[in-house]
Amino acid sequence: MYKPLIDRLARETVLSREEYLALIENRDSCREYLAEKARAVREQNYGRDVYIRGLIEISNHCKNNCFYCGIRAGNTCAERYRLTPDEIINAANSGYALGFRTFVLQGGEDGYYTDEILCGVISEIKKRHPDCAVTLSLGERSLESYKALRDAGADRYLLRHETTNPEHYKKLHPDGMSFENRQECIENLKALGYQVGVGFMVGSPYQTAEDLADEMLYLKKLNPQMVGIGPFISHKDTPFRDFENGTAELTTFMLSLIRLTLPRVLLPATTALGTVEADGRELGILAGANVVMPNLSPVNVRKKYMLYDNKICTGDEAAQCIECLKSRMKKIGYNTVVSRGDYKNEV
Ligand code: SAM
Ligand code: FES
């Protein structure tokens, strides 16, 4: 019954709010067909290649207190760490040898990392590995800071918007954190010429099916180069400890909707998806995702970057992680590639 709607989405790359909502609410009856179409669009644009990004978790210090997040400032149980510039550069060097051509520097909002420190790290990585892309995921910073980091060589920035509904935003964040500021940061990043990634958690507390339909309209309008989504997973030392986790089932459905709405988007099958379901990342790729982000952080800090309970891949060496992912992708007929994996602009 929903096939004509999905066919139209595949053709026109957009639906109305009501139509997205109808698909989301009736997903049991159309999930397979939607995934099939999403896979086809993904293969038209990116073949069966899977891009890998080396994730370096540079710090778990954070000044914010997002209610969902395990490294929030208020979590006194978190054992804090930060990597030195040399440790970050060494992680990138070993990643390069393993075939990574994109490094993602992610962390809490940690004032220790001034522009000066970060610019030094970015330009050193770019100098040593000019064929690599540097992606940052360091939260909200000033326009001037984003500009300095871009001038130092940063190519991409991931800043999940978390939700497109300002009321919902307030339920996920304490007073003092602002929906408007986050949106402004995203606009600034775009204006500075970054390849920009936004995203949200699926099944986060208080999220409705209507919110998810609105996410699709938001993404269509913004047209970002990357979208990161993963299930919400509760963390025992946060105010959201008692909320249900998001599901792989709804997350993969949303991945397929995103692939059909933004056919060329770079779309990761996230670690969170691999945490709620043992083969979550494979399911994500089969739903239309085309990126995976193995962990390149030094093993001694991995367990400390605990955004949510039971996070996977916190004990393995980087080399093991990449081998494991390669073989997982191969088993489902996809190939991880040695490439920067840039967004493909329309020709
Ligand atoms: N501080 C940076 C920022 O705010 O963008 C980057 C780090 S932050 C931990 C990265 C993302 O992790 C957030 O945007 C959020 O969507 C996700 N995240 C945090 N807590 C989570 C949880 N409990 N379950 C799933 N994802 C979570
Ligand atoms: Fe800052 Fe999660 S609250 S990274």
- Per residue in 27-80, pLDDT (tens digit) is 999 999 999 999 999 999 999 999 999 999 999 999 999 999 999 999 999 999
Q: Per the structure block, which two tokens stand in for 105?
A: 């520097």
User: Which whole-number Å values give the CA distances from 282 to 15, 97, 194, in the listed order?
Assistant: 27, 25, 29
Q: CA–CA separation, 247 vs 202, rounded Å?
A: 8
Q: CA–CA separation, 297 vs 309, rounded Å?
A: 18
Q: What residues are in contact with ligand 1 under a 6 Å CB criterion? A: 68-69, 106, 108-109, 137-139, 159-160, 162, 201, 230, 232-233, 235, 272, 307-308
Q: CA–CA separation, 332 vs 275, rounded Å?
A: 19
Quick one: which H or E segment has residue 202? strand 195-202
Q: What residues are in contact with ligand 2 under a 6 Å CB criterion? A: 62, 64, 66, 69, 71-72, 108-109
The alpha carbon of 54 is separated from its chain's Cα centroid by a whole number of angstroms, namely: 12
Indicate the SS3 state at residue 145.
helix
Q: Per the structure block, which two tokens stand in for 107?
A: 């962390």
What is the reported pLDDT for 316? 83
**What is the side-by-side order of every strand in the sheet holding 195-202?**
54-59, 102-107, 133-137, 156-158, 195-202, 226-231
What is the reported pLDDT for 2? 95
For residue 69, report the distance from its CA to the centre of ligand 1, in Å: 6
What is the reported pLDDT for 291? 98
Residue 343 contacts residue 264 (beta carbons within 8 Å): yes
| Ligand 2 mutation target, pool 64, 81, 234, most atoms within 8 A of CB | 64
| Ligand 1 mutation target, pool 159, 307, 310, most atoms within 8 A of CB | 307
pTM, full prediction? 0.98
Residue whose pair of structure tokens reads 């669009």 in the numeric block: 41
Q: What type of residue sits at position 69?
A: C
What per-residue string of b and e applies to 305-344 under the rule 16 or more CB within 10 Å gives b?
bbbbeebbbbebebeebbeebbebbeeeebebbeeebeee
Residue 227 contacts residue 202 (beta carbons within 8 Å): no
User: Which whole-number Å values give the CA distances from 274 to 233, 311, 329, in the listed order?
Assistant: 11, 9, 13
DSSP 280-337: HHHHHHHTT--EE--B-S-HHHHTT--SSTT-SSSSS-HHHHHHHHHHHHHHTT-EEE
What is the reported pLDDT for 174? 98
For residue 13, report the distance from its CA to the centre of ligand 2, in Å: 33
For residue 307, report the distance from its CA to the centre of ligand 1, in Å: 7
Q: Is 48 exposed, middle or buried (0-12, 13-18, 19+ CB in 10 A)?
A: middle
pLDDT along the chain (347 residues), means of 10: 95 98 97 98 98 97 98 98 98 96 98 98 98 98 98 98 98 98 98 98 98 98 98 98 98 98 98 98 98 95 96 89 95 96 83
Could you identify the atom of ligand 1 that is nearest to the CA of residue 238?
23
User: Angle of helix 248-261 relative to helix 3-12, nearest 10 degrees?
Assistant: 50
Residue 186 contacts residue 222 (beta carbons within 8 Å): yes
Could you identify the atom of ligand 2 that is nearest to the CA of residue 107?
4
Indicate the SS3 state at residue 13.
coil
